[in-house]
Amino acid sequence: MSELNKNVLQQANAAVTRGDNEGFLACCTDDLVWSTVGGETLHGKEAVRAWMVDGYAEPPRFTVRELVAEGDLVVALGDIESQDEQGNTVQNAYSDVWRFREGKMAELRAFVVPVKV
């Protein structure tokens, strides 16, 4: 199960990088809970879809350094490059903790830390 969950997360991340938000959302449960530690929490696939319109207007680029899976959890550690509102490139280190349910991503706890380049 752990390897299957890792594969789903890799498929979902690839969709985001391509700008395919619907492909990403297809990997999620309808009642997805998306929390950014120190930030907002989104409840439900529709809320995440609405956030992605602006939040992922320019698709981010992920570099996954490690994927660790156990039981229904998958932890991704890596770097993410995105654009801010002014179009400037922003570098962050991140750790995403995903909880899976029935083969889909059901909960995210994202830890995102700015990195000075």
The secondary structure of residue 88, as a DSSP letter, is -
Q: What is the mean pLDDT of residues 43-52?
A: 97
Cβ neighbours of residue 80 under 8 Å, at least 6 residues apart?
A: 60, 61, 62, 63, 91, 92, 93, 94, 112
Domain that holds residue 8: 1-114
Higher per-residue pLDDT: 57 or 72? 72
Amino acid identity, position 49 = R
pLDDT for the residue 117: 67
pLDDT band at 49 (very low <50, low <70, confident <90, very high): very high
CA angle 59–65–68, rounded 5-degree value: 110
Cα angle: 93, vertex 65, 115; to 5 degrees: 15
Q: Which CATH number characterizes residue 83's domain?
A: 3.10.450.50
Residue 113: band (very low, low, confident or very high) from pLDDT cuts 50, 70, 90: very high
Q: Is the pLDDT of residue 54 over 90?
A: no
- DSSP β-ladder status, 41-43 and 61-70: unpaired
Count of structural domains within the chain: 1
pLDDT tens profile 16-28: 999 999 999 999 9
Q: Distance between CA 49 and CA 113 in Å, rounded?
A: 23
Mean pLDDT of the chain: 93
pTM reported for the whole predicted model: 0.91
Q: Is residue 16 a contact partner of residue 91, using CB atoms and an 8 Å limit?
A: no
